[in-house]
Amino acid sequence: MPYKNITSKQYKKEWLRKNPGYMKAWQDKNLDKMRTYRKEWVERNKEWNKECHKKYYYKDLEESRKKHREYQRKRLGCLPREEYFNKIRKPLTEWKSSKTNPRLKARELLLRAVHNKRIIKPSQCSQCKEELNKALLQGHHKDYDKWWEVEWLCTKCHIKAHNGSYFSGKNEHEKKDF
């Protein structure tokens, strides 16, 4: 017998290496047995699995994060974080900021004054004199530097005041007749 000095585990490994299709065929026939065996094995070896995962995960954490970021950038076509902030995010936040945008600053100051009851919102439109709920009236600024000079308009009159520029497109279906 050529396997005199070999243990049963070594013999089994050698035999499976020579017969690769046997194990796969057996597993396919006995799926339920394999599932239960795997569940039991995972349950028995929870701590060992955690330790192996930690060793693998924390081994090159920074390197793996860097690789993942590069992969995401290539996949999504994203800019690196610094470029994204300088080219896109910073100008966007500046535009949205009331510190740099006079229209937003005027709007914010007016809303605060109305909330604190320093400016009283009327209940009718100043152009068409239609009685409305105060929530439906909109403040129209002719000059954003004079934020306290506001004309209170209904939606129809506000659109007319802006010459219909509230509508983004020139399509007829977007403009509604009031």
Tokens of 77: 């076509």
Look at residue 73 and tell me if it is in a domain. Answer: yes
The more confident residue out of 73 and 166 is 73
- For every residue of 98-109, DSSP letters joined together read TTT-HHHHHHHH
Q: Are residues 67 and 39 in the same domain?
A: no
Q: Is the pLDDT of residue 36 over 50?
A: yes
- Is residue 19 situated within a structural domain? yes
Read off the DSSP letter of residue 86.
Answer: I
- Asked if 115 and 155 sit in the same domain, the reply is yes
The stretch 77-81 carries a mean pLDDT of 67
Residue 173 located in a structural domain: no
Q: How far from chain centre, in Å, is Cα 7?
A: 57
In whole angstroms, what is the distance from residue 53 CA to residue 146 CA?
63
Note down the domain range covering 149.
Answer: 102-161
156 and 106 part of one domain: yes
Residue 176 lies in a domain: no
Number of CB atoms found within 10 A of residue 51's CB: 11
Residues 90 and 106 in one domain: no
Residue 139 phi, psi (nearest 5): -85, 130
User: Is the residue at 177 inside a domain?
Assistant: no
Q: What pTM value is reported for the model?
A: 0.40
Cβ contact 148:141 at 8 Å: no
Residue 14: inside a domain: yes
pLDDT in tens, 124-164: 888 888 888 777 788 888 888 888 888 888 888 888 887 76
Is 127 a member of any domain?
Answer: yes
Q: How far apart are the first and last CA of the chain?
A: 100
Q: Is the domain of 120 the same as that of 152?
A: yes
Question: 17 and 47 share a domain?
Answer: yes
178 Cβ neighbours under 8 A, 6+ residues apart:
156, 159
Considering the domain architecture, whether residues 81 and 127 belong to the same structural domain is answered as: no
Residue 148 lies in a domain: yes
pLDDT in tens, 4-31: 666 788 888 888 888 888 888 888 888 8
Q: Which residues of 62-82 are buried (b: 16+ CB within 10 A; e: fewer)?
A: eeeeeeeeeeeeeeeeeeeee
Cα(115)–Cα(49) distance, integer angstroms: 59
Please report the pLDDT score of residue 81 as a whole number.
Answer: 67
pLDDT score, position 44: 93
CA distance linking residue 55 with residue 51, whole number of Å: 6
**Tally of domains in the chain:** 3
The stretch 106-111 carries a mean pLDDT of: 85
